[in-house]
Structure 1
Amino acid sequence: MKKLISDWGKFTSGKRTRWFTIFIWIFLVGAVSMVWPQVNSQETKSNQLLPEDTMSVEAGEIASEQFASDSGLPLLLTWYREGGLIESDFQLIKEVYTNLESNPLEHQKFIPPFAKTPVQALAQTASEDKVALTTPVFFEKAASTEALQGMLDKLQSRIESAAGKEIVTSDLSADGLHVRFTGAAGIQTDATQLFSNADVTLLIATVILVLSLLIILYRSPLLALVPLVAVCFAYGLISPLLGFLAKEGWIEVDAQAVSIMTVLLFGAGTDYCLFLVSRYRDELRLEPDKYVALSKALGGTGGAIMVSALTTVAGLATLGLAHYASYDRFAVPFSMSIFIMGITALTLLPAILALLGRFAFIPFIPRTEEMTQELEKKKGKKIRRPKKNGRINKAFATLSTDRPWMVIIICTVVLSGLALFVGNVKYTYGLLDSFPEDMPSREGFEIIAEHYPPGEVAPVQVIVDTEENGDLTLKEDLAEMGIVQQVSDPETGSSDESYQQYEVILSIDPYSRKAIDSIPDIKEITEENLEEAGVQKADNNVWIGGETAKLYDTEQVTSRDQWVIIPAVLIIIAVLLLAYLRSIVAMLYLLATVVLSYLAAIGLGWIVIHYIYDAPAMSGLIPVYAFVFLVALGEDYNIFMVSSIWKKRKHMPLKQAIKEGVTETSGVIGSAGLILAGTFSVLAVLPLQVLVQFGTVTAIGVLLDTFVVRPLLVPALTTVLGRFAFWPGKLWKKTDSTMKDQT
């Protein structure tokens, strides 16, 4: 394989072929960008993340068919005054609705008759403490998000014009009346606004961070640009390719997937570039011909880069096994971006390096000893020789091989201690929990939740198919549940009278753990009631809808995905490690260290999110996201370092091979880890909390993997296991004594 990759390097980056390679890339990127749309323009607007056959989704479909009120898409106006609403507030509400009645907004479908409602009657609809009042405006469901945003802007203008001051965007802690837009329309427009400029902001922040880190680490402005150029070319090909697939309906992508894909591409892509650049710099110090040096560098690192990329591609592709759309939408963009970046690192990057040669490293140009001596003669002064490896890297390597048990015990205790916090993590699946606390729709929703009975915020819909088996006692049975405050009379289906719908108002927070856990109990009571009424196969005739049921279904679906994806990732990576290293023992302990690092990252991530960010819960999507990324990307560093140890073991004693392998790779792995962690931390610039939390946990995991697991724990384990670390491969039969005999 080494010769094959070396020959490939000569073809893509030779003296005569380097320009051809660059031209092919320019042509490809230009052609696909002209013919196919960019991925950003093909992002789905669908918020449906659950499979079609889940209970809450089916309940929603039946409700829209049989119990549709045809009122439209609701916008809830939450009117709030600390200390209580006053008469002038109710007069303002009447004035606003009078204006909406005489001069309707575009796509406005229906409004309640508040314009004709007396002030005293309107005041009776306020919350019990008279602090808040919620009034709806219904819009056509077909209205686009852009159109809705325009209508909300006009409505804000009308309200503030009537009030004579800003009350829609005012600080809730200030005195006076405040209005917030929430409900389906408000949440939809806020969610879109969160990502309106997110891609551009994220791209700029990522480029600036990566460029800064590269300049600091390599002290060469030109060299810092080389990986970024390669990544930009890769993105130039990936974006229209994904846009084409999305346009044809073969895949579905959302703004969240595109944002994280950008981070992944710059982080992992820069890593692959650094692996080659670092080795190329070392070879330039030994080889005067830059083309020969580049060929040797590709032969030495190309295999590791290729296997690392394939490992990450395979790991990320397992997200396609998910039923939850938020996971599934990530699979193709992520795996394809890494695949194309791997090709870029083995084609375009060598061509650019061949074009620039030693000049890329200016002002610290790597030269052979002979070249340095000639330059010294020419200049008449001594030139400082660069140190090949730092003292810190050697110290890590020496500590891991000379005192392996101490390293293993300390690392295991620290990582295990952090992993213990995993049991304390609280999870949430609510969309609004990911919104910033000052987002208008979230503020409005929290006002409603605080000043109205908790269950009224999100009623539970119980739908049954009675199969015309007579009256049910379901209303009474549900009302007897301790968590139920009120049950409505049954509503009969519009086209099929065998369908009945009951609206259940809970007496507890409908988003709480207790409420979510009550969904199976509500379903069981409903099924028993149907069976008593003579309905056959009652379990097929019950559907529970509403936000609480959606949260329950989300937990069930994501839990299923977790138990499918995590083993799949481990199996795939185990097979690839086994094929590359030919060692069952190495495969097992490399996987074990990555899993331990992952658990420690979740534990430490929870400490940061809960105690520093002051978040009450972590997004329930984080564990699977973090596992796939950390295990797949963590094995990249494993492969790069261990492959160096394996190669050196062929011709030197084990401890020496470990020391030199760790020393040789720790510098570039440390640089790559810092850049990767930095790029994921850039997600903190986005306002969506799920991305902030994901970036935090992933950055922590990368740092633990880079500076604890890779340079300390893995080498120490390899040292303790000795030649058994290579079992059953050929190197297992090698002993230090036989190697001395050969020498």
Structure 2
Amino acid sequence: MNNFANKYGNGVTGPRGRWITLIVWIVLTASLSMLWPTVNSQENNSAANLPASYPSVQADEVAKREFPNAEGLPALIVWHRETGLTDDDLKAVQKFAETFTAKPLPEQTALPPYHQMPLPALKSQLSENKKTLVTPIVFANGAETDVLNENFDALREQVKSQTGADPFAEKLASDRLIVRVSGPAGISVDAVGLFKSADVSLLIATVLLVLVLLLLIYRSPILAFIPLIGVGFAYGVTSPILGYMAKIGWIEVDGQAISIMTVLLFGAGTDYCLFLVARFRQLLTVEPNKWTALKQAISGSSGAIAMSGFTVVLALAALLLADYGAVKRFAVPFSLSIFIMAIASLTLVPALLAVLGRASFYPFVPRTPDMIRERAEKKGVPVPQIRSRKTIGARFASLVVRKPWTVIVVTVAFLAGSASFVPGITYTYDLLSSFPKDMQSREGFTLIGQSFSEGSLAPVKLMADTEGKAVDLQAVMQKLEYVDTVSAPQKGAINPNIVSVNVELHANPYDNEAMKLIPELRAAAESALQAAGVAAPADRVWVAGQTATQHDTKQAGVRDERVIIPVVIVLIALLLLAYLRSFVAMLYLIATVVLSFGSALGLGWLVLHYVMGADAIAGAIPLYAFVFLVALGEDYNIFMISSIWKKRKQMPLKEAIREGVTETGGVITSAGLILAGTFAVLATLPIQVLLQFGLITAIGVLLDTFIVRPFLVPAITTVLGRAAFWPGKTYDVEEARLKGESV
């Protein structure tokens, strides 16, 4: 291994190797960027999230086949005036319908003929309080978001020209005409718009944050840019590779995955760079030859960097096992980006350090004591006194070794206490709750809920194969206390025995309460079929619509957690076992990061619920946070424990623990602050699911950085002593000295 490390070090940092390495990265990045599309250009934000085996997907297929005229993506145009809609307002509605009936928008499939209705008939469509009217315009399923967005722009311009004002810009409290675009199409367009606007601001904020933190930590303008250059090249290679894979259909990518991938690259990528940079800086204070110092830094940190990267890559790749598409789409972008970033950290960054040498750390250039003395003598100034001061990290390390049981009890009590709040967390699958309250489509939904039934925004489509028997689905559904209205039944276009009704619930169709009603609706329909003598009624009922989709989304999330979480734990356990060759160490390293995850989830809920006023967190958050925190948290454990494992061959275990914690404390603290900061940037976005994920992940990284890594793990190692290495080979330095063996 030492031979390989030396050859590898010479290859990327030698007089020719460093320049070759730089040229290869430049050529590779430029070539891929010219030949293949960027990943952002291949985003598909309307990709399916549920596999064909889920009931709501099967129901959608039945609906498309049997009721094609009812299919499509509806946009609900909400017309509202607080003092009551006027005749002029209704004439604007008629003119709107006339315009887009005569000249349909691209992908438009249906628009009720409001322009053919006399005003009294149109007034009958108003809400009971006469303040609101909802007019649907239906677009084809699968219509591109960009097309829909352009359609909505044209729609807005038409309404503005007809009314002589801008009702889309009016606040909800206004007495003037207010118009909003809501419904599934409006929500979809607004969601994509939020992610697109977030991408640029997220990238700028992340770069600035990392740059500022690096400047504050290392106080070197040159060094601050080295990790950013590494991340930039890694992204430059990753983006076209992912773009090409998406273009030829190997993978699907969406805006949410790309946003989080950017944060992950900057956070984890900078961490890997710092593992090498910190070791190089430390060696420059004892080694006069910068080439020797760099090779030793590479030799000493490359194993930990490679192992850390491989751990994260495998953990993120486990997301491929997910049923839910939005989770599955994370796997390839995340794992590939980290894989390429790890390669950049082990090749490009060392090459940059080889080119710049000690100047990388200007103006605080690290020098050996002899170099400091010679420099002072040349300038004719007194030689500065080099004082050995005990750092805060060294003091904490001494405390851990002196009082390990106290440290274990205190840290476990804190982490377990924080994790105790996890059972009280409320989860939501409400799509709208993730968006800002002032978003156009959400405001439209609010107006609908105030004037009509909230269920009218997204009715449940219930279909049943009656086999020609007398089954009054409309009457059966209308008897249910949680149902508001039920449409007249329709017969299937291909199989007339299949009957369909649209059911509007009293509850918000996106809420948890509505989701719980899906099994009850199905059971009521099955009971009606069974009473009529229909055979196998369970196979002859289908429930479609947004609420049914969200019900299946929850089921998919539960299934994914049960499958992926154990797989991630097993994969990381096997990697730790192979790297450390210690079953005992593997167990407590896994246990500590899992405990840290639970603590982060509990503390995150306290902040989100009691400080920020959130009633619930997105149902996908626990799985996202687990995979990231367990994989990234194990990175810090690996880096620190690697140092302890090496030092135990040269000194007693307690001293090795003290030295290992002290040596790695600074770089892990710096890396943790940067990683937590980059995830915290997500908390500044207006999208609740990203805010919640960013906040909880940032808290978890800070817990790993300031509690698990410096206190809990070394304290457990101290208590276990030689047993921490079982069944691997232990090397007792004190015993060797007593026997007169060389150390």
Secondary structure of 1:365 counterpart: coil
Matched, 1:210 2:210: yes
Cα separation, 2, equivalents of 1:173 and 1:711: 54
**Residue 572 (structure 2) pairs with residue 588 (structure 1):** no
Query: How far apart in 1 are the matches of 2:737 and 2:129?
Result: 85
Distance 2:151 2:383 in 1: 70
Given candidates 732, 735, 738, the residue that maps to 1:734 is 732
Counterpart in 2 of 1:681?
680
Are 1:424 and 2:429 matched, yes or no? no
Amino acid at match of 1:208: L
Instruction: Spell out, residue by residue over 1:540-596, the C-alpha distance to the aligned partner (whole angstroms, 9 max, x if none).
Output: 222111122111100101100000010000000001111111111111111111011
Relative to structure 1, is the Cα distance of residues 92 and 696 closer, same or farther in structure 2, using a 3 angstrom cutoff? same
What corresponds to 1:258 in structure 2? 258
Alignment partners' CA distance in 1, 2:189 and 2:621: 25
Q: 2:145 matched to 1:145?
A: yes
The 1:94–1:489 alpha-carbon spacing in structure 2 relative to 1, beyond 3 Å, is: closer
CA contact (8 A) 2:192 2:255 kept: no
| 1:648 paired residue number | 647
Distance 2:368 2:254 in 1: 50
**What residue identity is the alignment partner of 1:690?**
V
Secondary structure of 1:360 counterpart: helix
Q: Distance in 2 between matches of 1:47 and 1:248?
A: 15
Alpha carbons of structure 1 residues 606 and 325: separation in structure 2 relative to 1, 3 Å: same
Task: Indicate conservation of the 8 Å contact 2:110/2:139, yes or no.
Answer: yes
In structure 1, the partner of 2:669 is 670
Determine the structure 1 residue equivalent to 2:184: 184
Provide the C-alpha distance between the structure 1 equivalents of 2:81 and 2:382, rounded to a whole number of angstroms.
77
Distance of aligned partners of 1:115 and 1:359 in 2 relative to their CA distance in 1, 3 Å threshold: same
| Preserved contact between residue 597 and residue 701 of structure 1 (Cα < 8 Å) | yes
Residues 181-260 of structure 1: pairs in structure 2 closer than 5 A: 181-260=181-260
Q: 1:554 aligns to what?
A: 553
Pair 296,621 (structure 1): closer, same or farther in 2 beyond 3 Å: same
Deviation at 1:475, TM superposition (A): 4.1
Deviates more, 1:678-687 or 1:580-589: 678-687
Secondary structure, counterpart of 2:654 in structure 1:
helix
SS in 1 for 2:68: coil
2:629 is the alignment partner of 1:633: no
Contact 1:469 1:534 in 2 (8 A): no
Confirm or deny: 8 A CA contact 2:429 2:511 kept in the other structure.
no
Kindly provide the CA deviation profile for residues 593-641 of structure 1, in whole angstroms up to 9, marking residues without a partner as x: 1011101111111122223332222111111000000000000000000
Q: What SS does the corresponding residue of 1:195 show, helix, strand or coil?
A: helix
Which segment drifts farther, 445-454 or 217-226?
445-454
Deviations 1:156-183 (A, max 9, x none): 1222233332221222123322111112
Q: 1:317 to 1:511 in 2, by over 3 A?
A: same
* CA spacing shift, 1:140–1:310, aligned 2, 3 Å: closer
| Cα deviation 1:249-273 (Å, max 9, x = unaligned) | 1111111111111110111011000
Instruction: Please state whether the residue corresponding to 2:503 is helix, strand or coil.
Output: strand
Contact 1:21 1:347 in 2 (8 A): yes
The alpha-carbon deviation at position 714 of structure 1 amounts to 1.0
> Within 2, Cα distance between the matches of 1:181 and 1:569?
42
Listed one character per residue, the Cα deviations across residues 110-144 of structure 1 (whole Å, up to 9, x for unaligned) are: 43232243334333322223332211233455653
Name the stretch that deviates more: 345-354 or 119-128: 119-128
- Counterpart of 1:29? 29
TM-superposed deviation, 1:502: 2.5
Within-5 A mapping of 1:254-403:
254-382=254-382, 384=384, 391-403=391-403
SS of structure 2 residue aligned to 1:196: helix
How does 1:93-104 map onto structure 2 within 5 Å?
Answer: 93-101=93-101
CA distance in 1: counterparts of 2:298 and 2:145, whole angstroms: 50
**Does the 8 A contact of 1:469 with 1:535 survive in 2?**
no
Q: Look up the match of 2:605.
A: 606
Partner of 1:173: 173
Report the Cα offset of residue 95 of structure 1. 4.1
Greater shift, 584-593 or 487-496, is seen at: 487-496
Q: Deviations over 1:374-396 (max 9, x none)?
A: 11110122455777886211122
Judged with a 3 Å threshold, the aligned counterparts in structure 2 of structure 1 residues 713 and 71 are, in CA distance, closer, same or farther, namely closer
Asked if 2 retains the 8 angstrom alpha-carbon contact of 1:282 and 1:388, the reply is: no
1:505 CA displacement? 2.5
The one-letter code sitting in structure 2 at the alignment partner of 1:644 is S
Which residue identity is paired with 1:123?
Answer: K
The 10-residue stretch of structure 1 (136-145 or 320-329) with the greater mean CA deviation from structure 2? 136-145
Which position in structure 2 is the counterpart of 1:123? 123
Q: What letter matches 1:574 in structure 2?
A: A
Instruction: Give the Å deviation of 1:27.
Output: 1.5
* CA shift in 2, pair 1:210/1:541, >3 Å: same
Cα distance change on mapping 1:324 and 1:625 into 2, 3 Å: same
The equivalent residue for 2:621 is: 622
Q: Distance in 2 between matches of 1:739 and 1:574?
A: 34
Q: Once the 2 structures are TM-superposed, how far is the Cα of residue 428 of structure 1 from its aligned partner?
A: 1.4
Contact 1:80-1:131 at 8 Å conserved across structures: yes
Change (3 A) 1:604 1:249: same
Distance 1:626 1:388, change over 3 A: farther
* 8 Å contact kept, 2:593–2:633: yes
**Per-residue Cα deviation, 1:12-37 (whole angstroms, up to 9, x for no partner):** 11122111111111121122222111
State the 1:538 CA deviation.
Answer: 2.9
Tell me whether 352-361 or 402-411 shows the greater mean CA deviation: 402-411
> In the alignment, which residue of structure 2 is the partner of 1:16?
16
Q: CA deviation at 1:351?
A: 0.9
Q: Tell me the amino acid that sits aligned with residue 699 of structure 2.
A: I
**What is the rounded CA distance, in whole Å, between the counterparts of 1:139 and 1:458 in structure 2?**
15
- Which shifted more, 171-180 or 510-519? 510-519
- Which residue of structure 2 aligns with residue 162 of structure 1? 162
Identity, in percent, stands at 52
1:426-445 matches, cutoff 5 A: 426-445=426-445
CA shift, 1:321, in A, is: 0.5
Q: 1:318 and 1:386 mapped to 2: Cα distance?
A: 50
Q: What secondary structure, in the 3-state scheme, does the structure 1 residue paired with 2:650 have? A: coil
Comparing 121-130 and 46-55, the one that deviates more: 121-130
Q: Partners of 2:171 and 2:227 in 1: how far apart? A: 45
AA paired with 1:567? Answer: P
In 2: Cα distance, 1:181 partner to 1:188 partner: 11
Please name the residue that 1:85 is paired with. 85
Q: Deviations over 1:248-297 (max 9, x none)?
A: 11111111111111110111011000000000111111212211111111
Mapped contact 1:2–1:303 kept (Cα < 8 A): no
Which residue of 2 is the match for residue 56 of structure 1?
A: 56
Structure 1 pair 22–385 and aligned structure 2 pair: CA distance change class (3 A): farther
- Segment of structure 1 superposing worse, 46-55 or 642-651: 46-55
TM-score if structure 1 supplies the norm length?
0.95
Cα distance in 2, alignment partners of residues 110 and 504 from structure 1: 21
Number of aligned positions between the proteins: 741
Greater shift, 503-512 or 374-383, is seen at 503-512
Q: What letter is aligned with 1:178? A: I
Report deviation, 1:329. 0.4
Aligned counterparts of 1:539 and 1:657: Cα–Cα separation in 2: 65
Cα distance change on mapping 1:434 and 1:486 into 2, 3 Å: same
Asked whether the equivalents of residues 492 and 498 of structure 1 are also in contact (C-alpha less than 8 Å), the reply is yes
Contact 2:649 2:733 in 1 (8 A): no
- The residue type paired with residue 589 of structure 1 is Y
SS of the residue corresponding to residue 69 of structure 2 reads: coil
Q: 2 CA distance for matches of 1:280 and 1:290?
A: 9
Aligned counterparts of 1:244 and 1:382: Cα–Cα separation in 2: 62
**Scaled by the length of structure 2, what TM-score is found?**
0.95
What is the identity, as a one-letter code, of the residue corresponding to 1:8?
Y
Once the two structures are overlaid, the 10-residue window that deviates more, 443-452 or 122-131, is 122-131
What is residue 722 of structure 1 aligned with on the other side? 721
Distance 2:271 2:387 in 1: 22
The 2-side partners of 1:283 and 1:548 are apart by 60
Structure 2: 5+ residue stretches without partners:
none
Q: Encode CA deviations 1:426-479: one digit per residue, 9 max, x unaligned.
A: 11122222221111011101221232123323222222233x352225444444
